[in-house]
Structure 1
Amino acid sequence: MTTGSSDTTVHTMKKWLRGGLFTLAGLQTFVSLWQYVFSRSFYDNFPTVELDPPYNQHLVSDVGGLGLALCATLYIAAVTLDNKVALTSLVGYLVYVATHFLFHVTHFDNFSLLEAGGVGTGLGIEVVLALLLLYVVRLIQRAEAPAVAAR
């Protein structure tokens, strides 16, 4: 049997999880749609991308399509708030953003200090937010575990 306080805590954590999942999905949707639909514009206009290797429309649009697939899983997780779906979508998203972060922080050769700091910070925030949301999912699982065991 759960207590009112426990139910309130789980409800609050689920609100934060939903908000975080929608935030990640929204940000990823913006970038992925830009990459997929307007790949040349993304390459020419997204800050620091012009510092990367030469433009390849196929590569940029494929990355955009993969990003949209991640968005779909994040949106589904945010709507359903199913712990397994949230865990799966966040782990997939974390693998993507962590490897993206790792690539960029090891390839700052042509970047100014300000550009490197901006890219590193922006991409690092995505990694930290995904890790925090994974922690929230774990807290929700722990809080709901006694309720499941009591049924």
Structure 2
Amino acid sequence: MTDRPVQHRTLVRVLLAVLLASGLVLGIWAAFFPLGFYESFPGFGRHWVSADGPYNQHLVRDVGNLFLALSVVTGVALAAATSMLVRATAAAWTVFSLLHFAYHLRHLDVYDGVDAAGNVVSLGSMLVVAVVLLLVAGPSAADTDRAATATGTDAPAT
């Protein structure tokens, strides 16, 4: 293995599992049942996607496919649990979650108070999970080697 195992292994695995479960549920629902996703996401009688514009099967399926692609990478990161892979996965989820969250923060006017709060809490939570994962994944062996080279010290054994 060219990358040492991540620190905080249990927390990292829990955070990866949360992202994986979320990605699979959303991905399967949107990719394979796009109209149902559009009409009834997030469920429980709420309608967050349909409130934001007309149905577009292509875009809903693409969102599902994106979540499934993130899920594949997340599953591999969960299985391998190396710093570099976990950090790359966390960075991808962070970029996606930050931009998704920012969009919805600017468009809360299409929702009532409960749905607006639900959007902020659910999307903000996913962003927090991704950022915490990025922070606890630890430096990769390459980072450690670069730091050791820069300071003239030996890198710790992996």
C-alpha separation in 2, matches of 1:92 and 1:110: 28
* Native 8 Å contact 1:13 1:140 kept in 2: no
C-alpha separation in 2, matches of 1:126 and 1:81: 20
- Give the corresponding residue for 1:126: 126
- Give the corresponding residue for 1:33: 28
C-alpha separation in 2, matches of 1:62 and 1:11: 32
Distance change (3 Å), C-alpha of 1:80 and 1:38: same
User: How many pairs are equivalent?
Assistant: 140
Q: Write out aligned runs for 1:5-84 (5 A).
A: 13-46=8-41, 47-84=47-84
User: 1:55 is paired with a residue of what secondary structure?
Assistant: coil
More helix by share: 1
Distance change (3 Å), C-alpha of 1:53 and 1:118: same
C-alpha separation in 1, matches of 2:157 and 2:31: 48
Instruction: Please list every run of at least 4 consecutive aligned residues from structure 1 whose deviation after the TM superposition is greater than 2 angstroms.
Output: 138-141, 144-151
Greater shift in the superposed pair: 14-23 or 52-61: 14-23
Return the offset for 1:109: 1.7
TM-score (ref. length: structure 2): 0.80
**Matched letter for residue 119 of structure 2:** V
**Matched letter for residue 128 of structure 2:** V
Gaps of 5+ in 2: 42-46, 146-152
**Matched letter for residue 109 of structure 2:** D
**Matched letter for residue 50 of structure 2:** E
Q: 1:37-94, CA deviations, whole angstroms, 9 ceiling, x for partnerless residues?
A: 0000000111311211100001100111111101111111011001111111110111
Q: Between the two proteins, what is the percent identity of the paired residues?
A: 29
Return the offset for 1:138: 2.3
